[in-house]
């Protein structure tokens, strides 16, 4: 059963494809539930419920957990809140963050996720599945140029930037957005790195591979102040 502690894991980027090195991150999400065979739901709205992405989810999780998914483009679930509350872990996939949030609000998924979080269901995801939990974040939802998304769910304060090491424009653009005040202070994470939040407080950074980092990014009196956070390396 889901616990009473509210927990969110924001992943800078993580793959479910065979051969990926991100397995320890996914396993850690399962471990956080405290269940031997947890109930896990995948929400792939950001990719338009891409069947390949959903299949990749089942390919990794179905052997390790009771796995289901919530589709909204071919919706088959009537009581979304009741359905999500039946799970121990909800994994949100990457894709277009702005589109995902708009569809969620249309179907009431935003309110259902808040209830699930308040009930102790672990919430997690990479990229769009990480940005969404914050008040704001950097996004390519509106085109190739990175911009500010300022209408996140707001479960967590501040902003978030994923793919900090894998896309060359992510870091300088996030600095620009925070320095200008378009985005509030926040966190950034390399691919393969997760930020764990207990309630709304940052708890620790975790990583699947060495030499990866998370960062606290803040606007200071002399410009951007970036503080490196060394993650705890998870066992493979």
Cα separations (Å) of 166 from 169, 178, 192, 203? 9, 20, 10, 24
Question: Quick one: tokens of 231?
Answer: 């993650």
Catalytic residue among 69, 87, 163, 175: 163
Cβ neighbours of residue 215 closer than 8 Å, sequence gap 6 or more: 164, 187, 188, 189, 226, 227, 228, 229
Question: Quick one: tokens of 220?
Answer: 């200071």
Pick the closest to residue 138 from 117, 157, 118, 162 (CA basis). Answer: 162
Cα separations (Å) of 230 from 12, 76, 159, 170? 14, 42, 19, 19
CA distance 46 to 97: 6
Q: What is the separation, in whole angstroms, between the first and last Cα of the chain?
A: 26
Calculated CA dihedral for residues 134, 147, 206, 113, nearest 10 degrees: 30
127 given a catalytic annotation: yes
Catalytic residue among 67, 127, 138, 141: 127
Residues with catalytic annotation? 127, 163
């Amino acid at each position: 059963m889901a616990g009473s502690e509210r927990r969110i894991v924001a992943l800078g980027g993580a793959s479910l494809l065979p051969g990926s090195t991100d397995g320890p991150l996914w396993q850690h999400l399962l471990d956080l539930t405290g269940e031997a065979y947890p109930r896990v739901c995948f929400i792939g709205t950001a990719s338009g419920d891409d069947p390949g992405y959903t299949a990749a989810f089942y390919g990794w999780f179905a052997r390790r957990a009771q796995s289901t998914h919530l589709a909204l483009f071919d919706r088959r679930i009537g009581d979304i809140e009741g359905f999500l509350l039946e799970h121990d872990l909800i994994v949100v996939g990457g894709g277009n963050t702005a589109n995902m949030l708009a569809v969620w609000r249309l179907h009431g998924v935003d309110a259902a996720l808040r209830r699930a979080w308040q009930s102790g269901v672990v919430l997690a995801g990479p990229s769009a599945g990480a940005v969404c939990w914050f008040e704001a974040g950097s996004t390519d939802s509106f085109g190739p140029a990175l911009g500010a998304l300022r209408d996140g769910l707001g479960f967590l304060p501040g902003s978030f930037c994923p793919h900090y090491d894998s896309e060359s424009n992510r870091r300088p653009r996030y600095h620009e957005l925070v320095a200008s005040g378009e985005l509030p202070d926040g966190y950034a994470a390399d691919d393969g790195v997760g930020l764990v939040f207990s309630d709304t407080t940052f708890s620790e950074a975790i990583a699947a591979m060495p030499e990866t980092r998370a960062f606290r990014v803040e606007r200071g009196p002399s410009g951007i102040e970036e503080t490196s956070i060394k993650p705890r390396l998870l066992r493979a």
